[in-house]
């Protein structure tokens, strides 16, 4: 009898813990975006708070992760989301790949963060002077240069062709816009986007100023 009571109490505690975790994980998209942009403003001003980077936080997230946002960013060493958004351990689910392209593995990774970790905001973050985009704009066709990454970037180059201004920046922006659309219409994420449960946004990070230019969908 005592054993059954103990099991029942444990089940209640576990259920409550899971409910609390789910509540923490399912931060509304607008609130998550506000936190990201506020952190970026601190980064720009040189007034970073470095939240959630203590030993206590490390111990806390060792038991489970409940990020409030996902960021698809370039692998470029100058664009680490946790730094440019002034966040800490367990805050962001980051997927980083050259050119911040969205192949099948990337989409499934983001889908995991949404379906299993409760993320309700996905940000696609391109950046100025992106080496991968420069290579795509330059049309590298030599043996060894053509691969999946450049193939993923070609639609952005084509979409931006003939636009006034910097061709690389134009392609960077078009790449972010196209990826936001690709994620929003993917089999994995489209239903939640249509229902309003999930928001996918795009921005371009300026390497020189640290600012993020949010793009309209």
Q: Which residue has the tokens 């992760």?
A: 65
99 within 8 A of 157, measured Cβ to Cβ: no
pTM for the model stands at 0.86
- Give the domain ranges of the chain: 26-215
| Domain 26-215, classified CATH 3.40.50.300, yes or no | no
What DSSP letter does each residue of 13-81 carry, written as one string? Answer: HHHHHHHHHHHHHT--HHHHHHHHHHHHHHHHHT----TT-SHHHHHHHHT----SEEEEE---TT--H
What does the pLDDT profile of the chain (217 residues) look like in tens digits?
444 434 343 343 343 344 334 435 489 999 999 999 999 999 999 999 999 999 999 999 999 999 999 999 999 999 999 999 999 999 999 999 999 999 999 999 999 999 999 999 999 999 999 999 999 999 865 555 557 888 899 999 999 999 999 999 999 999 999 999 999 999 999 999 999 999 999 999 999 999 999 998 6
Q: Which residue has the tokens 């980051």?
A: 94
- Of the candidates 161, 159, 157, the residue with the CA atom closest to the CA atom of residue 130: 157
Calpha distance 203→40 (Å, rounded): 12
Calpha distance 167→169 (Å, rounded): 6
Calpha distance 212→92 (Å, rounded): 17
């Amino acid at each position: 009898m005592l054993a059954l009571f103990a099991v029942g109490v444990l089940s209640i505690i576990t259920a409550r813990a899971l409910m609390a975790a789910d509540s923490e994980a399912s931060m509304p998209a607008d609130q998550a975006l506000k936190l990201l942009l506020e952190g970026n403003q601190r980064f720009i001003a040189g007034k970073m708070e470095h939240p959630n980077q203590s030993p206590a936080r490390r111990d806390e997230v060792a038991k489970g992760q409940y990020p409030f946002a996902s960021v698809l960013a370039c692998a470029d060493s100058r664009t680490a989301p946790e730094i440019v958004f002034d966040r800490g351990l367990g805050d962001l689910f980051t997927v980083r790949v050259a050119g911040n392209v969205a192949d099948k593995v990337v989409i499934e990774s983001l889908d995991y963060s949404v379906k299993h970790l409760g993320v309700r905001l996905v940000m696609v973050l391109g950046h100025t002077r992106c080496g991968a985009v420069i290579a795509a704009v330059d049309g590298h066709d030599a043996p060894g240069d053509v691969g999946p990454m450049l193939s993923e970037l070609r639609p952005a180059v084509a979409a931006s062709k003939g636009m006034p201004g910097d061709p690389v920046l134009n392609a960077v922006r078009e790449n972010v816009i196209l990826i936001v659309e690709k994620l929003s219409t993917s089999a994995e994420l489209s239903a939640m986007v249509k229902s309003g449960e999930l928001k996918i946004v795009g921005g371009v990070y300026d390497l020189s100023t640290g600012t993020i230019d949010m793009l309209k969908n």
